[in-house]
Amino acid sequence: MRTINLGKSGLQVPVIAVGCWRMHRASRAEAEVFVKSAMDYGANFFDNADVYGGDGLCETIFAQASGMNPSVREKLILQTKCGIRMNAAFDFSREHILESVDASLKRLKTGYIDVLLLHRPDALVEPEEVAEAFETLHASGKVRFFGVSNQKPSQIQLLQKYIKQPIVANQLQLSIAHAGMISQGLLVNTLNEGAADRDGSVLDFCRLNDITIQPWSPFQYGFNQGVFLGSEKFPGLNARLDELAEKYSVSNTTIAMAWLLRHPARFQPITGTMKPERLKDCIRAAGITLSRDEWYAIYLAAGNILP
């Protein structure tokens, strides 16, 4: 599969990342088939979190499904997240970060994590503590690179003021039907509602600072409101996606993913499926480059506007 640089890490990663947050819903056999299929497709970047499935269950299942051992581990790029506690509180304390990583390493049956993300912002964050935790983890070899999720520029800058290691990734919700970070740039200097800057121009910030944006829920609209593919709420969008799917002889899933990959920010979308065929449809997008006219036609079909 086509690869990109992950931020300033120097790490070459597949342009499509495999999300593991639904892995606890699969049987042991289904999980094994899924992981093997992903590897066969060249999708060896797996995204997890210590709260996926409840108390790290998805990490445990992934280790079992992959048959984790040293020879398997060297073929994988593992990303996981910490900072959300099971009681719905956020905790970026040094103690919690270190304990969370040790627990994830144990569940994943590995000695190191390639990328560790802080999972959503913590209002009580003390960046000096985060810096201490990151330095300990990096020096010990337990974590190679670090990132964040759902953070705006000023939050990243606050962390980066104290952290020696560069923030290499920021996981943010983004799709054709949830494209506010793109729309606010297009509608700048207008009074349209879409011009409202709700995220501190995070798209431009990440591009300026070589931080890879990892879009999550690439087929969702709103916040967990549903999938736009096949939805009666988006007839124009689905008609346009189906038209292009026929043109390129692929599925509408592939075209929707290709829309994200066409953006010059070089996104690394995170899939959410546990179905090998749907994952394959997502991966096919890496081989399609939509034209400028096609990209804008899809954007407008979703109800987005231009000035």
The residues assigned a catalytic role are 52
CA distances from 82 to 132, 251, 270, 291 (A): 15, 34, 17, 38
Structure-token pair, residue 167: 């923030």
CA nearest neighbour of 195 among 187, 204, 205: 187
Q: Which two tokens stand for residue 17?
A: 């990342």
CA geometry: angle at 230 spanning 227 and 232, to 5°?
95
The SS3 assignment for 147 reads strand
Is residue 16 within 8 A of residue 285, CB to CB? The reply is yes
Written as six digits, the tokens of 191 are 């009074």
Residue given tokens 């990151």 in the structure block:
134
Residue matched to tokens 């010990």: 140
CA 29: distance to chain centroid? 25
Q: Do the bridges between strand 226-227 and strand 113-118 make them parallel or antiparallel, or are there none, so unpaired? A: unpaired
Report the C-alpha gap between 116 and 94 in whole angstroms. Answer: 14
For 37, other C-beta atoms within 10 Å of its C-beta total 16
Q: How many CB atoms lie within 10 A of CB 64?
A: 16
